[in-house]
Amino acid sequence: MSWESAIPNVLAGETPALASASSDLPGMNSEEFAAFYERSARPLWAYLARVSGDAALADDLVQESFLRFLGADHPNDGEVSARRYLFRIATNLLRDHWRRPRAASIEDIPEEVFQAGDHADACDSRMILGPALRFMRPRDRQLLWLAYAEGYSHREIAGITGLASASIRLLLFRARRKIARLLRENAPDDGRVR
């Protein structure tokens, strides 16, 4: 790109790069995105809220996941793969959140954290799985949710979480056994198969 063509267009806001940025985003137009969002935002929020145990964090991460999804050159081969890609972004964001160093002193913690905690408690009390999920490790919660709530195969879970496909089976087996035991311990006797 030459300076003669770039500089006047920058000032006018019509540089080729900017023009492409203001048109449709890669892979989707606004109507397609709205339809995709309607179908996938709620399951994604449920995944993030239940795995993290924090509804406020889920709100933030859902938005960030969609923003990154729209900004990325994601595989354009159908809604199933787009949704898988979205869950992968969300999983990476969640992992980054857990890896981030915590504040060292109570003065460093913003006030919103305490408000979010109150909300998370209220959210937890409505959960069916809540008490059992709290005893699970975050990775196990992720695997269980992806397998049993979203219905992903071991290979798809490996693609989303970045874990080796071979280890998913063993990890899921252990996690399922543990949460089944916890659910049995906490469940009221309603006559269903336990």
Single-letter amino acid, residue 55: A
Shortest Cβ distance from residue 65 to another protein (Å)? 10
Q: Whole-angstrom Cα distance, residue 115 to residue 123?
A: 13
From residue 143 to residue 162, the character string flagging contacts with another protein as x (rule: CB under 8 A) and all else as - is: -xx--xxxx-----------
Distance CA 2, CA 22 (A): 21
Complex with another protein: residue 21 or 103, whichever CB lies closer: 21
Helix ranges (H only) for 13-134 are: 16-22, 30-52, 55-71, 79-99, 111-125, 130-134
Q: Does 39 bind another protein (CB under 8 A)?
A: no
Q: Residues in the chain, how many? A: 194
Residue pair 133/141 in contact (Cβ under 8 Å)? The answer is yes
Q: State how far the Cα of 185 lies from the Cα of 194, in Å rounded to an integer.
A: 10
The CB-of-69 to another protein minimum distance in angstroms stands at 8
Give Cβ neighbours of residue 157 (< 8 Å, ≥ 6 apart). Answer: 143, 146, 147, 163, 168, 172
Residue choice 4, 38, 107, 112 for contact with another protein (CB under 8 A): 38
**Is residue 4 near another protein by the rule CB under 8 A?**
no
Asked whether position 113 contacts another protein by CB under 8 A, the answer is no
Among 2, 4, 11, 30, binds another protein (CB under 8 A): 30
Decide if residue 85 touches another protein (CB under 8 A). Answer: no
> ∠ CA 25-84-132 to the nearest 5 degrees?
130
Query: Contact positions toward another protein, by CB under 8 A?
Result: 6, 10, 15, 17-18, 20-22, 25, 30, 33-34, 37-38, 41-43, 45-46, 49-50, 55, 58-59, 62-63, 66-67, 70-71, 123, 126-129, 132, 144-145, 148-151, 169-170, 173-174, 176-177, 179-180, 183-184, 192-194
